[in-house]
Structure 1
Amino acid sequence: MDRSTQVKAMASEARMSVLKLLAEPEKHFAGQWSADPLEFGVCMTLIAEALGVAQPTASRHLEILKQAGFITVRKHQKWSYCKRNEAVIQDYLNWLQLELSVT
């Protein structure tokens, strides 16, 4: 995994907000009717609305999170759905803790 991409992904307040929102999709995106947000993921359109940004801006943030491995994106019909990749997030946090620990 490219750690510099992951650090870049975490260096944005908007991207951190996306990860926080996706941590509790049933709470933040309960109104999603097209698919279960917990099981399937959250529609990119709803993420853009939650952030209060235009779809192209949200798409760019989501692409960086995807490149970092922090989210997975799955297409269904005409929509794209995002879901946190908990294993990669935990791996990053473990790596960061080791990097910052006193030896």
Structure 2
Amino acid sequence: MTIREDQVKALANDTRIEVLRLLDDPAAHFSHQDSADPVKTGVCVQLLAAHFQVSQPTMSRHIELLKRAGFLKAKRQQKWTYCSRDEKALAEYATWLKTSLNIKDI
């Protein structure tokens, strides 16, 4: 599978799109995270799972697809995994999509 196929697949799910939206402003949505600063470190996968009311393995699968697409960075600290958006990858994908579909500026 190519990176573009992974990216399209990653964005073909409402939960994964909402994860990216929430991580755009982690301080607004996850200020209650005590283990690390959500802006500097990222948001804990367990908090994301709780937000969506899904199991941690289910959320981990969503995170894995977003990481494979390049849209998320994940770092492990002790027993926790923290996620943040990869803004460069998201911008590159948006440019590619716009160019590929010949979308004009509005």
TM-score range, shorter chain: over 0.9
* Equivalent residue, structure 2, for 1:67: 68
1:1-103, aligned counterparts within 5 Å?
2-101=3-102
Q: Which amino acid aligns with 2:53?
A: G
Deviation at 1:50, TM superposition (A): 1.1
CA distance in structure 2 between the aligned counterparts of 1:67 and 1:74, rounded to whole angstroms: 14
User: Which 4+ runs in 1 deviate beyond 2 A?
Assistant: none
CA distance in structure 2 between the aligned counterparts of 1:49 and 1:31, rounded to whole angstroms: 12
Q: Which amino acid aligns with 1:29?
A: F
Consecutive unaligned residues of structure 2, counting only runs of 5 or more, are none
Deviation at 1:2, TM superposition (A): 1.1
Deviation at 1:4, TM superposition (A): 0.5
Q: Report the 3-state secondary structure (helix = DSSP H, G, I; strand = E; otherwise coil) of the residue aligned with 1:11.
A: coil
Consecutive unaligned residues of structure 1, counting only runs of 5 or more, are none
Q: Deviations over 1:15-51 (max 9, x none)?
A: 0010001001000000001110001100000010111
Identity of aligned residues (%): 47
Q: Report the 3-state secondary structure (helix = DSSP H, G, I; strand = E; otherwise coil) of the residue aligned with 1:3.
A: helix
Q: TM-score, normalised by structure 2?
A: 0.93
